[in-house]
Amino acid sequence: MTDPQDPDTAAIPESWDRNARWLRLLYVIVFAILFRIGDTVLGIAALLQALWILVTGRRNDLIAGFGVDLARWLAAVARFQSAASDEKPFPWRPWP
């Protein structure tokens, strides 16, 4: 017996017909690739920020702001990939 309140046993929404499930799988694969790229860009931004702090003694607000926005996008991708959300993140939505 499944409990609709239990996320582990919740039924797949009926709106997810067979074609929609294959299309979602394609989006998940595309977002997995984009997530890896975003993770790499975040690492580069962190390295640049660390170097900036070493040279100037203070943080660069533009790099910090970009890092926050990128982290929000990565979180939105993770929610979509785990089916916690049906909303596709950027570029289907505005940048966070």
Domain presence at residue 23: yes
Q: Which residues contact 93 (CB under 8 A, 6 or more apart)?
A: 76, 87
Residue 1: which pLDDT band, with cuts at 50, 70 and 90? very low
Domain presence at residue 40: yes
Domain presence at residue 13: no
Q: Number of folded domains in the chain?
A: 1
The range of the structural domain enclosing residue 54 comes to 18-81
Domain presence at residue 89: no
Domain presence at residue 73: yes
The whole-chain average pLDDT of the chain stands at 86
pLDDT tens-digit series, residues 37-74: 999 999 999 999 999 999 999 999 999 999 999 999 99
Residue position matching structure tokens 């170097």 = 51
Domain presence at residue 56: yes
What's the confidence (pLDDT) of residue 53?
97
Domain presence at residue 39: yes
Domain presence at residue 96: no
Q: Which residues contact 48 (CB under 8 A, 6 or more apart)?
A: 60, 63
Higher pLDDT, 7 or 40: 40
Q: How far apart are CA 10 and CA 50, in angstroms?
A: 44
